[in-house]
Amino acid sequence: MVETSARLLRLLATLQARRHWSGAELAGRLEVTERTLRRDVERLRSLGYVVDASAGVGGGYQLGASNVVPPLALEGDELVALAFALASTGTAMPGLERATLRLLAKVEQSLPAKHRRKLQALQSTIVTLDRQPTVPASTLLTLASACRDAVTVAFDYRAHDGAVTKREVEPLRLAQTGNQRWYLLAFDLGRADWRTFRVDRIVEPRAGFRFSPRTPPRQPEQMLSEALARDAYSLKVKVRVGQPAETLRRNVAPWVGVVTPIDAKTCSLECGAPSMVTLASMLLLSGVEFSSLEPASLRTPLLAEIERLRRSLTRSARR
């Protein structure tokens, strides 16, 4: 009986690890015969779990929609991480505030004393001063599921100027920047090109049909970095930095600037901004010294912003 229960838990964990398994793959992973696998699947169903099965080429098993959540075995540090994430999230996802608090209470109650003290120490050091626009939990869940399952999504998209357009996309990645803003990288079917969308501007996303994922032209992380740090802005600047690319990447967040290697000892940094003062600020905040700047037409207005700062500092020193 103990062996059977352990096998059922392994089956649940394996079904959770991937959306779809063929019978042969699943039996091989669990080191059981396909006959034993079929019996274990029936045992799971008798316990209330939904396990969908299909025959023929491409057939197999997958967990279906159910009100029953498979059990998770978490270690102490994993429980601390989960509780800290729940506490930090707070009301960032409207609609889940009460559920978040209930889950947090259950997790904290499960913590051993030493791990509870560790969580309290972490929480006592965190102060939240501001948040970016909140994103409904239902929106994040819909987009995350669509990325995972390769399902198209249709939605209304509200631009910066308030204009609303209808979009249908093949989603690839969800990303969150250091300022807690969410973005979706997807192939826009209407524009036949890759686009990055701010998730807080996505209205009522609706899942569509399955698609075969297409290969992006570059790594998703690089495409997101380019979109957030450079391509979305009318003002763009490129500077040459006397550092290896990997060194600079450790000091410049990917949504601040795009770092591209030139040779083993130098690289370029590209930044974008909506205004000259913001562009000057980003170059200052990057903390780099550069040997060239393109386009040359931006040198004079950037110098004017720096001069304005110098004059302010000079006046303040005289008081």
Chain segment 200-255, per-residue pLDDT in tens:
899 999 999 999 999 999 888 888 888 877 766 778 889 999 999 999 888 887 77
% of the chain exceeding 90 in pLDDT = 22
pLDDT digits (tens, 9 = 90+) for 260-300: 899 999 999 988 888 888 888 888 877 888 888 899 999 99
Is residue 44 within 8 A of residue 69, CB to CB? The reply is no
Cα separation, 237 vs 75, in Å, equals 47
Greater confidence (89 vs 115) lies with: 115
Is residue 176 within 8 A of residue 152, CB to CB? The reply is no
Range picked from 92-96, 99-103, 258-262, 281-285 for highest mean pLDDT? 258-262
Within 13 A of 70's CA, how many CA atoms are on the CB side?
Answer: 19
Q: Mean pLDDT score of the chain, rounded to an integer? A: 81
Residues 6 or more apart whose Cβ sits within 8 Å of residue 65 = 50
The residue behind tokens 């991937």 is 18
- Per-residue pLDDT for 319 more than 70? no
Residues 6 or more apart whose Cβ sits within 8 Å of residue 113 = none
CB atoms near residue 311 (< 10 Å) = 10
The residue behind tokens 């939605």 is 155
pLDDT of residue 180: 67
Cα separation, 259 vs 248, in Å, equals 7
Task: Map out the domains of the chain with their CATH numbers.
Answer: 2-63 (1.10.10.10), 76-124 (no CATH), 137-217 (2.30.30), 223-314 (3.30.70)
pLDDT of residue 211: 92
Cα separation, 294 vs 273, in Å, equals 14
Q: Which amino acid belongs to residue 105?
A: A
Question: 180 — alpha (psi -120 to 50), left (phi > 0) or beta?
Answer: left
Residue 316: exposure state from Cβ atoms within 10 A (0-12, 13-18, ≥19): exposed
* Confidence tier at 96 by pLDDT (50, 70, 90): low
Greater confidence (154 vs 27) lies with: 154
Is residue 247 within 8 A of residue 266, CB to CB? The reply is no
Residues 161-166, mean pLDDT to the nearest whole number: 90
* pTM for this prediction: 0.57
